[in-house]
Amino acid sequence: MKIVGIVGSNADFSYNRLLLEYIAKKFKKLVEIEVLDIKDVPLFNQSNDQTNSEPIQYLNKKILGADGVIIATPEYNHTIPSALQSVIEWLSFKIHPLDGKPVMIVGASYDVQGSSRSQLHLRQILDAPGVNAVVMPGNEFLLGEVHKAFDEEGNLKDGQTVQFLEVCLKKFIRFINVVNVLNAPEGMKDLSSTEDLHATGKIDTTIEGVDMLADDWVEQAAEKTGAVEGKTYVKLDRGILTVDQLNYFLNSMPAELTYADSNNQFLYYNHKYDAEEMLASRRPEQVGSPLANCHPERVYSGVAWVIQQLRTGKQEVVRTHVPTHGPDKFVVHSYQAIRDKEGNYLGINEYVQDIKPIIDWYLEQTGQQLVGGGVDAVSGATSKVDTVSGATVKDN
């Protein structure tokens, strides 16, 4: 997902630019944000059409190519600066890149009320028919007394403000997905918004206070929870094993195993091979990430569909065969619902196997033969992308 952030000020030094740059830097693992300036955009003049000028076309193309837009507006005399108004006028005159585009408004200003009035005005402006942006309701992020808000490195000083900003940004990411469903052509149903693939929720086993996207999430989460390891015994149903034994046992399974919980967070895989050697590659640093960060966006809808099948109990296991490994492998991905004793959905056990050795052995033992065309390794309709927990399936 790609977002552009528009600085609503044309000043050489702007706190609103600082705010957007901070958001882009702080949340870079959550979403890619490119900060755009409006400094070079001329004042709107209906009699002197400059729609095709470089600065306006630059903004136009960047907005068209983005999934969403964040506008950071200052407050000038209780409304938005004329420079920002001018930009919106150009972008609603002969061209309309904001039409249907999800927009989040933030703002920083000197006053304690920090741009609240300009934000309200900006909402109204963006709702005009020529603009027709889809502005996220609520979640008003105001940064008052902005001259005291940042430290020397350009970071926000107040932890609660940062937390609220993160909440707003995560909601905006979900909002973008919802708007995409609304904008999708009729008949083409995008199911991505049916699941919280960014794992913004919380379940009773969620380990809080550790960045899900940290490369060393496992180490940090283990420290935070005091997780046992090595020769320590764990009582299971039914048996007792040391953590080492449990690891060896899971690694000896004839499949690549992955656990993603009901909050759509990737928690575990049996790490016995390097990513390049796996049928469905996973990397150690991916563990802990939301499923959205493990997949290309184009498969979100498919991922959400599989999870919905399991979560709602429509299917207990969803299977897909992946023919791209060539005729010598029969690779099957199985997505198995994990449930507690009451049947509540706890997540997915995805196991990936090459079932050819088992089939060959069975045929040999029983004297039977495969009839028909075998596996279609060329035109295989199945997606090349591993649908649920890991990254992209290895190409042969």
Ligand X SMILES: Cc1cc2nc3c(=O)[nH]c(=O)nc-3n(C[C@H](O)[C@H](O)[C@H](O)COP(=O)(O)O)c2cc1C
| Interaction site with ligand X (CB under 6 A) | 9, 11, 14-16, 74-78, 108-111, 146
DSSP 3-state of 246:
helix
DSSP 3-state of 83:
helix
Q: How far is the CB of 111 from ligand X (least distance, A)?
A: 3
DSSP 3-state of 81:
coil
- Is residue 176 within 8 Å of 142, Cβ to Cβ? no
Q: How far is the CB of 290 from ligand X (least distance, A)?
A: 32
Q: How far is the CB of 92 from ligand X (least distance, A)?
A: 22
Q: How far is the CB of 10 from ligand X (least distance, A)?
A: 8
Whichever of 15 and 259 has its CB closer to ligand X, that residue is 15
Whichever of 124 and 312 has its CB closer to ligand X, that residue is 124
Q: How far is the CB of 79 from ligand X (least distance, A)?
A: 8
Q: Provide the angle, in degrees to the nearest 10, between the axes of the packed helices 116-126 and 82-90.
A: 10
Whichever of 7 and 176 has its CB closer to ligand X, that residue is 7
Helix ranges (DSSP H) in the chain: 15-26, 54-64, 82-90, 116-126, 159-183, 217-225, 243-251, 300-311, 356-366
Whichever of 22 and 268 has its CB closer to ligand X, that residue is 22
Whichever of 9 and 353 has its CB closer to ligand X, that residue is 9
Whichever of 15 and 269 has its CB closer to ligand X, that residue is 15
Q: How far is the CB of 9 from ligand X (least distance, A)?
A: 3
Q: Which residues contact 150 (CB under 8 A, 6 or more apart)?
A: 15, 18, 22, 156, 157
How many CA atoms within 13 Å lie on the side-chain side of 268? 13
- Our measurement of the distance from residue 49's CA atom to the centroid of its chain's CA atoms, rounded to an integer in Å, reads 39
User: CA Rg, the chain, in Å?
Assistant: 26
**Residue, CB closest to ligand X:** 111
